[in-house]
């Protein structure tokens, strides 16, 4: 049965029986059904199917369903949110148990945070004097322990360490980014500020690119006593965009260095005494002299290191970046329109070919690995997905 | 229809409890689950009654809620069965309160594709129009019509299968009496 031999489609016959056709179409199908035995038979089949289905009766609603529903509605109305959760139960319908668990968890979390943060907060509120007193007290304690300890070298080094630990040695670093209107003027002002505060420039770079703002980067060394006022003067050069200060404590490093230096000097002195007072073979004398030379080298190296360290403490470092406000300039077009279009086409072609090449390289490089991963992971995913679909369809 | 009132809820339940119960009993093999889903649908309806806007037939609105709950139930059941093992949907309906006709028709309808089955049941038992079914299932009306046609033809073939012939004869007999 098809529309080439029948003026109406089988679906239209079905729609006619379901009263889903317009009046005109319904009249056309009705008159066709009177004349066409085949379509009449089809319509009869549809009727029979519907009648067969109509015998699928469902027993009445059990009374317990009504009672359960009424109970749950009553629970909702009375504001009692306990019991079994429905599909559309809202998140605010927490039972007292959930509230108790949530409150307990919150209190425990707060207590933990307080236990961690309170000692830190108290420590940060100690004044500088209190800290110094504390460190001095610690120093005296260590000093007394050092004197009681056996062996002079260890005791000496500890005493020195304690003595130097009383004054904290801090290498200060300040970073400042400033935006100025005129870089040349600021450069002159920078020199004046450096001279005023007895500082010097350890490193200075000026860059003046085209179509971009000029900038100056400098690493300044300023006596630590003058550092705050020098930084304040530098800030007057323009608008401060960024400022950060840091201090690296090198007390322990310096203490260790001084102790090692003292020990090396003592060793050198002892070696010189041996050389002067003892006699021996030439080889032994040469050996002692070699040892003295080695110790002397170590001493000089450590002295240089000590000077550098002390210099870092005595002179604060200012990492300065000065950027000039960008002033756009009108330039005549560098090339004709046709040239620019041609260049754009060439660049476009090059970019396109490079992209294709990159894609090919990527596929060649990672394709096999990706394929293996895909095979490994796709199989279980397909299996699970098919099982899930089968389960869904079976429901 | 003002469904925000308590007496209106009672009226709703009285009027639609049997169609909705039948809807779930026919779509879900397990009668207990069908009852539970019907209950959840009424509860959701009562909760959402304040947000109801009469843009469509109330029956369509009700079955839309029912389908949402049914799909959620299917997803959960399928997920559980997929990842926790076991089979779903294969459980035979309880023998109590189940007639021979129900068993045979359920078996025959169960052989249809899921969407075809839903369209057929919505049309035959809930008497929804093609347009309402299309809106409910988010399908074009023409698709609904062609799937319904396919489902009816397939069902006629299934019912004429040898193992269902005795049942078909009984049905024919009852049809003759009527």
- Please compute, for residue B164, the number of CA atoms within 13 A of its CA located in the half-sphere on the CB side: 22
pLDDT grade for A364, boundaries at 50, 70 and 90: very high
Across chain A, the runs of DSSP E, i.e. the strands, are 170-180, 200-207, 215-223, 239-249, 315-324
- Among the partner-chain residues B47, B145, B156, the one whose CB lies closest to the CB of A49 is B156
Put simply, whether A394 touches B (Cβ < 8 Å) is: yes
Torsion of CA A303, A307, A312, A315, to 10 degrees: 170
- A25-29, A71-75, A378-382: least confidently modelled range: A71-75
| Full pLDDT tens readout for chain B, 178 residues | 333 446 777 777 788 888 888 888 888 878 888 888 988 888 888 777 777 777 777 888 889 899 999 989 888 888 888 777 665 554 454 444 556 777 788 888 888 888 999 999 999 998 899 999 998 899 999 999 999 999 999 988 888 876 656 655 555 555 444 4
Highest mean pLDDT of the ranges A88-102, A110-124, A326-340, B108-122: B108-122
User: Cα separation of A25 and A334, whole Å?
Assistant: 74
Mean pLDDT confidence for A96-111? 85
Is pLDDT at A307 greater than 80 in this prediction?
Answer: yes
**Exposure of B173 by Cβ count < 10 A (0-12 exposed, 13-18 middle, 19+ buried)?**
exposed
Which chain A positions have a beta carbon within 8 Å of B120's beta carbon? 53
Confidence of residue A173 (pLDDT cuts 50, 70, 90): very high
Contact B56, B135 (CB under 8 A): yes
Mean pLDDT of A282-302: 90
**CA–CA distance, B1 with B55 (Å, rounded to integer):** 11
Instruction: Test A388 with B79 for CB contact under 8 angstroms.
Output: yes
Shortest alpha-carbon distance between residue B40 and chain A (Å): 6
Residue A300 pLDDT class (50, 70, 90 cuts): very high
Residue A147: pLDDT band with limits 50, 70, 90: very low
Q: What number is the ipTM of this complex?
A: 0.78
A46 CA: distance to closest CA in chain B (Å): 7
Instruction: Report angle CA A300, A301, A302 to the nearest 5 degrees.
Output: 90
Check CB contact under 8 Å for B42 and A66: no
pLDDT band at residue A182 using 50, 70 and 90 as cut-offs: confident
pLDDT tens sequence across B141-160: 999 999 999 999 998 888 88
Residue in chain B lying closest to A68 (CA): B39
Contact B145 A20 (CB under 8 A): yes
Check CB contact under 8 Å for A388 and B35: no
Of B25, B29, B109, the CB nearest to A58: B25
- Rounded mean pLDDT, A52-77: 77
Q: How far is B129 from B42, CA to CA, in rounded Å?
A: 23
CA distance B41 to chain A (A): 9
For B169, the closest chain A residue by CA position comes to A52
**Euclidean distance between the first and the last CA atom of chain A, given in angstroms as a whole number:** 35
State the Cα–Cα distance between residues A37 and A26, nearest whole angstrom.
17
Distance CA B159, CA B168 (A): 6
Give the model's pLDDT for residue A93.
53
pLDDT at A303 over 70: yes
Q: Cβ contact (<8 Å) for A15 and B130? A: yes
Say if strands A215-223 and A239-249 run parallel, antiparallel, or are unpaired: unpaired
CA atoms within 13 A on the CB side of A382: 6
- Reported as a single tens digit per residue, the pLDDT across A216-254 is 999 999 998 889 999 999 999 899 988 999 988 888 888
Output the average pLDDT for chain A: 80
pLDDT of residue A153: 41
Q: Is A162 in contact with A143 (CB distance < 8 Å)?
A: yes
- Supply the pLDDT for residue A95: 64
A45 interfacial to chain B (CB closer than 8 Å) = yes
The residue written with tokens 């000496």 in the block is A156
Asked if B156 and A66 come within 8 Å (Cβ–Cβ), the reply is no
Confidence bin at A66 (pLDDT 50/70/90): confident
**Percentage with pLDDT > 90 across chain A:** 26
Residues of A in contact with B124 (CB under 8 A): 50, 53-54
């Amino acid at each position: 049965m098809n529309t080439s031999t029948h003026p109406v489609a089988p679906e239209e016959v079905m729609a006619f029986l379901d009263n889903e056709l317009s009046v005109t179409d319904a009249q056309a199908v009705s008159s066709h059904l009177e004349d066409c035995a085949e379509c009449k038979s089809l319509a009869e089949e549809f009727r029979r199917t519907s009648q067969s289905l109509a015998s699928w009766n469902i027993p009445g609603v059990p009374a317990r369903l009504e009672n359960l529903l009424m109970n749950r509605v009553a629970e909702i109305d009375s504001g009692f949110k306990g019991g079994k959760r429905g599909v559309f139960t809202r998140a605010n319908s927490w039972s007292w148990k959930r509230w108790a668990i949530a409150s307990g968890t919150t209190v425990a979390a707060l207590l933990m945070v307080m236990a961690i943060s309170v000692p830190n907060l108290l420590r940060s509120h100690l004044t500088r004097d209190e800290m110094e007193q504390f460190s001095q007290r610690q120093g005296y304690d260590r000093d007394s322990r050092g004197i009681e300890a056996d062996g002079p070298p260890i005791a000496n080094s500890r005493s020195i360490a304690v003595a130097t630990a009383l004054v904290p040695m801090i290498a200060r670093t300040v970073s400042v980014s400033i935006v100025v209107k005129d870089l040349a003027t600021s450069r002159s002002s920078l020199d004046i500020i450096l001279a005023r505060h007895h500082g010097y420039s350890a490193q200075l770079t000026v860059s003046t690119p085209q179509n971009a703002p000029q900038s100056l980067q400098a690493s300044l060394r300023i006596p630590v006593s003058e550092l705050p006022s020098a930084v304040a003067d530098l800030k007057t050069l323009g608008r401060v965009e960024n400022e950060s200060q840091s201090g690296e404590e090198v007390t322990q490093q310096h203490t260790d260095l001084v102790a090692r230096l003292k020990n090396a000097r003592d060793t050198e002195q002892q070696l010189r005494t041996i050389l002067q007072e003892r006699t021996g073979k030439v080889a032994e004398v040469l050996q002692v002299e070699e040892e003295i030379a080695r110790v002397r080298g170590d001493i000089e190296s450590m002295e240089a290191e000590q000077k550098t360290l002390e210099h870092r403490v005595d002179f604060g470092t200012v990492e300065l970046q000065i950027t000039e406000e960008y002033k756009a300039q009108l330039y005549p077009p560098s090339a004709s329109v046709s040239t620019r279009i041609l260049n754009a086409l060439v660049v476009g072609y090059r970019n396109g070919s490079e992209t294709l090449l990159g894609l090919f390289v990527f596929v060649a490089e990672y394709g096999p690995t990706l394929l293996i991963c895909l095979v490994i992971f796709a199989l279980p995913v397909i299996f699970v997905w098919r099982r899930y679909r089968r389960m869904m369809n079976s429901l | 229809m003002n469904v925000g009132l308590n007496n209106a809820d009672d009226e709703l339940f009285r009027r639609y409890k049997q169609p909705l119960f039948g809807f779930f009993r026919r779509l879900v093999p397990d009668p207990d689950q069908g009852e539970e889903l019907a209950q959840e649908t009424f509860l959701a309806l009562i909760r959402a009654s304040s947000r109801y806007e009469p843009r469509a037939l109330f029956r369509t609105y009700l079955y839309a809620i029912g389908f949402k709950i049914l799909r959620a139930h299917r997803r959960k059941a399928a997920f559980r069965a997929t990842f926790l093992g076991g089979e779903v949907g294969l459980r035979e309906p309880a023998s109590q309160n189940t007639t021979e006709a129900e068993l045979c028709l359920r078996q025959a309808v169960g052989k249809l594709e899921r969407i075809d089955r839903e369209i057929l049941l919505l049309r035959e038992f809930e008497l929804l129009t093609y347009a309402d079914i299309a809106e409910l299932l988010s399908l074009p009306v023409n698709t609904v019509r062609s799937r319904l046609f396919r489902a009816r033809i397939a069902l006629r073939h299934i019912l004429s299968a040898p193992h269902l012939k005795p049942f078909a004869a009984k049905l024919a007999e009852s049809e003759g009496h009527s």
